[in-house]
Amino acid sequence: MFNNNVNFLFGDSLSLGVSEKLWNYNYTRYHPMDEISSWMDSVVEQNPKLVTSLVYGQTFEKRDIKLLKFGLPDPGGLEKKAVWVDCGIHAREWIAPAFCQWFVKEILQSYNESDVRLTKFLQKIDLYVTPVLNVDGYMFSWTNQSTRLWRKSRSLPPQGCTCHGVDLNRNFNANWGTVGVSTDCCSNTYCGVSPASEPEAKAVTDFVGTRVDQFLCYLTIHSSGQLILLPYGHPQITAPNYEELVSVGKAAASEMKKLYGMEYRVGTSPQILYANSGSSRDWARLLGIPFSYTFELRDKGEFGHLLPEDQIKPACEEAYVGVTSILSYVYDNNFPNDKLPTAAATACVHVTGLIVMTTLATLLVTLGSV
Amino acid sequence: MRNSVPTSSIGKLLYSTNTTQQQQQQQQVSLDVDVMLTGELNPNHYPARRAAQVVLHHLNTRYGSPYWWGALRQVHKATAEALGDSGRKYSLEVTLQDQISGTKETCTAEVVFPGGPAGGPPQVTTSYEGKSEINTQAQEEALYNQYNTSQNLLSGHNLPDSYGHVAPGMEPFWHLGGVASSFVMLKESSENTLYNMAQVVSVTQLATENNQLRFNYDVLLHEMVSQEIIHWKLLASWSPQEGVKASQMELLPKCHHCEPPQEH
């Protein structure tokens, strides 16, 4: 009925009060870009007090890069802090945009239940969610069976080379071009001609970069591998808050494992995967955003990027508890005098209310039958 | 292992000001900082994981079938040892899981990655003695009898499809493709790779020969470190008695005008 996990930020996922248009949207299927775009429009249209959308850049092929901004007015009128979540930097990682959509659904449901924790969070912190960052690449991966495993953007080949696309997660200005990249444009880890040369990377750089003082947390969602990666991708650099990043990451992984027993390994990329440079996660941390993580969702190679649709729900539920675990910590860390009520406390209010109502109802019935 | 870097170096490393275009056909850019670790390894870190994946591929080639396809579940312990010119040896304790039945098996294993310029495939030995609990014999024989024919030869493609779906009747041939791909992935593996099969592009049955069912496979392999999708053809033969064998393994170029990647 209610969960006892104090790290759950946004409460139970009951489907109450979601408008008809969004109610019909199937969050356990993969959606092509046009469906995701019109879904985003519906989210804003149906929840104008909670969400706005913003186009913050254009892809190489001149498509809009759009985010959803969730926030509520701060009763104290103070300047808001912010959290960033992006999905779909890599085209073939379809479970990532599926998770961003799922995450939005959870927010909407919690909001419609007047969830106290969510309200408090959004009064202090604006949540920026980009369901698909690499729009061109994502659309290309939907073209036909032979394009399904495309990873990069769809920029034209540079001078002297013949292949399309840049690995956007090697293109950010963070030790760019130093390790774990290729300078061959045909390679899947091609880092581009210069840092943030790609419009998709530049869009994020400009948007977050001009608001850096607001941002507390930067999360970027990928697949696969079941990993929570912390900065840095370069093997010789350590983040100043490394220990804290590890412990918050491990707490998230522990929450995730409770659902379906899935292990998520936590560490830097050079420790548990491979060294790399130019990642968005590293760029965010270098900028000073204290909590920056890459989530690599299911699975561990059996299906890889071709995760079956019947795993969308459990994969997203796992990711959800992991993400909210981190967001809860980030909130409490920044507002220590005004912490989020625990989920148990919130539930107690509900249960107490139920007991009172039941008692009253029993009393009324008893009186009525006299 | 993390090494702290002197402050003066950090500034240089943090932001690259290199804006010139790279014209040369340089391959992976890497720093000579990847010191090959020896001794006790962290079982969650990549060196142990990559070696364990090699064990997995070896066991799939020996014990895999349309009804038994192993995946790496856990690495418990790992050590590495330099063998001078002969390469490097990993000693591991791993748990595998059959992707079909879910049963787990734990075993110890040794993986030797050969040294020197010739390279060559890794050599694997394990304590594994065969699948203990699940008996797939009845299913295997039923499948064999159903497809031991020269008419209505099986064919299929895109296993799984874009949505991760495999039709129930095709699942054994998806598994078989995965097991047969392990022959390729085993021989292609090094300390710098981590392979999984991404997809069976196509499977086409040929007439049975020497009591072995035979299938031409077109498969896509995913190599994690380079993030490349690598296209291979192979001929898989199988019977319940002989297990799975792969032959005529051929690397296909990424595109018609491309060269196959260099040997590492």
**Mean pLDDT (whole number) for A265-288:** 98
A333 DSSP 8-state letter: H
Lowest mean pLDDT among A2-11, A145-154, B32-41, B46-55: A2-11
pLDDT at B117: 77
pLDDT at A346: 52
The interface predicted TM-score (ipTM) is 0.87
The rounded distance, in Å, linking the Cα atoms of A21 and B170 is: 37
Determine whether A123 is exposed, middle or buried from the number of CB atoms within 10 Å of its CB (0-12, 13-18, 19+).
middle
Q: Which of B19, B163, B227 sits opposite A308 (nearest CB)?
A: B163
Contact A71, A80 (CB under 8 A): yes
What's the token pair of residue A319?
């990711």
Query: Closest chain A residue to B220 measured between Cα atoms?
Result: A149
Q: In a mutagenesis test of the B interface, which of A153, A163, A237, A296 is the best target, namely the one with the most B β-carbons within 10 Å?
A: A237
∠ CA A48-A53-A55, nearest 5°, is 160
pTM of the model: 0.88
Contact A222, A296 (CB under 8 A): yes
Contact B195, B264 (CB under 8 A): no
Contact B189, B57 (CB under 8 A): yes
Q: Which residues of A are catalytic?
A: 296
The total number of residues shown for chain A amounts to 370
**Would you place residue A364 in the very low, low, confident or very high pLDDT band (cuts 50, 70, 90)?**
low
CATH of domain B7-251: 3.10.450.10
Contacts of A182 in chain B (CB under 8 A): 26-29, 226
The rounded distance, in Å, linking the Cα atoms of A143 and A32 is: 10
On average, the pLDDT of chain A sits at 90
C-alpha separations of A66 from A47, A54, A55, A63, A86 in Å: 17, 6, 4, 9, 10
Would you list the DSSP string of B27-75? -EE--TT-PPP-EE--TTSHHHHHHHHHHHHHHHHHH-BTTB-EEEEEE
A7 DSSP 8-state letter: T
Secondary structure in 3-state letters for A228-249? EEECCCCCCCCCCCHHHHHHHH
* Percentage of residues of chain A with pLDDT beyond 70: 87
Q: Which of A142, A183, A237 sits opposite B29 (nearest CB)?
A: A183
pLDDT above 70 for A193: yes
What residues does each domain of chain B span?
7-251
Number of Cβ within 10 Å of residue A195's Cβ equals 26
Contact A218, A229 (CB under 8 A): no
To the nearest whole Å, the CA of B252 is away from the closest chain A CA by 15
Contacts of B45 in chain A (CB under 8 A): 267, 271-272
Q: Which of residues 21-60 of B touch A (CB under 8 A)?
A: 21-31, 33-34, 42, 44-46, 49
pLDDT at A22: 73
Contact B206, B179 (CB under 8 A): no
The rounded distance, in Å, linking the Cα atoms of B102 and B98 is: 5
pLDDT at A168: 98
Q: In a mutagenesis test of the A interface, which of B8, B13, B226, B258 is the best target, namely the one with the most A β-carbons within 10 Å?
A: B13
Q: Beta strands A81-87 and B104-113: pairing type?
A: unpaired
In chain A the beta strands, taken as DSSP E runs, fall at: 51-58, 64-70, 81-87, 125-130, 181-182, 215-223, 227-230, 265-268, 291-297
Determine whether B134 is exposed, middle or buried from the number of CB atoms within 10 Å of its CB (0-12, 13-18, 19+).
middle
The rounded distance, in Å, linking the Cα atoms of A1 and A342 is: 16
Q: Which of B5, B16, B229 sits opposite A237 (nearest CB)?
A: B5
Dihedral angle of Cα A94, A95, A96, A100, to the nearest 10 degrees: 110
**Mean pLDDT (whole number) for A13-36:** 76
pLDDT in tens, A222-240: 999 999 999 999 999 999 9
Q: Beta strands B70-82 and B28-29: pairing type?
A: unpaired
**Would you place residue A366 in the very low, low, confident or very high pLDDT band (cuts 50, 70, 90)?**
low
Mean pLDDT by 10 residues, chain B (264 residues): 34 34 36 66 96 98 97 97 92 96 95 87 93 80 92 95 97 98 97 97 97 98 98 98 97 62 37
pLDDT above 70 for A118: yes
